[in-house]
Amino acid sequence: MAWLQRLTATVTEDELFEILASQRPPKAKLARQQIRGRVVKVLAEQLKALDSSASPARTADAWLQEGGEDGDLLQGTTFVVEETVPWDGAVGGADALDEVADLFDAYLYATRESLDALTLWTAYSHTYDSFGLSPILDISSPTKRCGKSTGVVVIRHTSRAPLLSGNITPAALFRAVEAWKPTLLIDEADTFAKMSDELRGILNAGHTRDTAFVVRAEGDANEPRLFSTWAPKVVAAIGRLPDTIEDRSIRIVLTRKPVGIVKRDAFDPEGVRQDCEQPRRKLARFVLDNLDEIASAKVERPDGLHDRAWNNWRPLFAVAAAAGGDWPKRAVEAAKALNPSSDDGDTEDVGTLALRHVWEVLEPAGELATVDILVYLIAKDEGPWAKWWEAQVAKGELKGPSARLAKLLKPFGIKPKQLWIDDKKVRGYDAADFTTETVSAYLEKDGRDGRDGRTEARSGAGSTVPTVPTVFLEGGREGARPLPGDDGYLAGMFAVFEAGHITEGEWKQAELAHRFVVQAVAA
Does 177 fall in a domain? yes
The H or E element spanning position 419 is strand 417-421
Same domain, 285 and 303: yes
Does 229 fall in a domain? yes
DSSP secondary structure letter of residue 346: G
Q: First-to-last CA distance in the chain?
A: 87
Same domain, 366 and 457: yes
What length does the chain have? Answer: 523
Q: Is the dihedral of CA 87, 89, 93, 96 positive or negative?
A: negative
Q: Nearest 5 degrees, angle CA 162-CA 163-CA 166?
A: 135
Same domain, 97 and 61: no
Same domain, 449 and 331: no
Closest by CA position to 241, among listed 250, 232, 228, 231: 250
Full residue range of the structural domain in which residue 450 is found = 345-522
Same domain, 407 and 511: yes
Domain end: 294, 310, 338, which one? Answer: 338
pTM, rounded to two decimals: 0.60
CA distance 35 to 81: 32
- Give the per-residue pLDDT at 78: 64
Same domain, 291 and 389: no
* Residue stretches of the chain with pLDDT short of 50: 68-73, 193, 342-347, 446-480
- Give the per-residue pLDDT at 446: 37
Domain end: 321, 338, 355, which one? Answer: 338
Domain end: 338, 371, 390, which one? Answer: 338
Same domain, 272 and 421: no
Does 80 fall in a domain? no
Helices 399-409 and 385-394 cross at an angle (nearest 10°) of 150
Same domain, 231 and 354: no
Same domain, 104 and 32: no
- Give the per-residue pLDDT at 195: 61
Same domain, 248 and 330: yes
Does 481 fall in a domain? yes
At 420 the three-state DSSP class reads strand
Does 425 fall in a domain? yes
Q: Work out the burial of residue 5: count CB atoms within 10 Å of its CB; fewer than 13 is exposed, 13-18 middle, 19 or more buried.
A: exposed
In this structure, are residues 273 and 153 in contact, taking their beta carbons and an 8 Å threshold?
no
CATH code for position 134: 3.40.50.300
User: What is the Cα gyration radius of the chain?
Assistant: 32
Q: How many CB atoms lie within 10 A of CB 243?
A: 10
- Give the per-residue pLDDT at 458: 27
Kindly report, residue by residue over 327-338, the tens digit of the pLDDT. 999 999 999 999
Kindly report, residue by residue over 191-212, the tens digit of the pLDDT. 664 567 788 888 888 999 999 9
Please name the amino acid found at residue 17. F
Does 247 fall in a domain? yes
CA distance 222 to 212: 21
Same domain, 121 and 226: yes
Does 149 fall in a domain? yes
Written as one string, the DSSP assignment of 148-207 is HHHHHHHHHTTSSSEEEES---HHHHHHHHHHH--EEEE--GGGSSS--HHHHHHHHHTT
In this structure, are residues 441 and 473 in contact, taking their beta carbons and an 8 Å threshold?
no
Does 467 fall in a domain? yes
Same domain, 374 and 454: yes
Structural domains of the chain, count: 3
Within 13 Å of residue 269, how many CA atoms lie on the same side as its CB? 0
Closest by CA position to 177, among listed 131, 232, 225, 241: 232
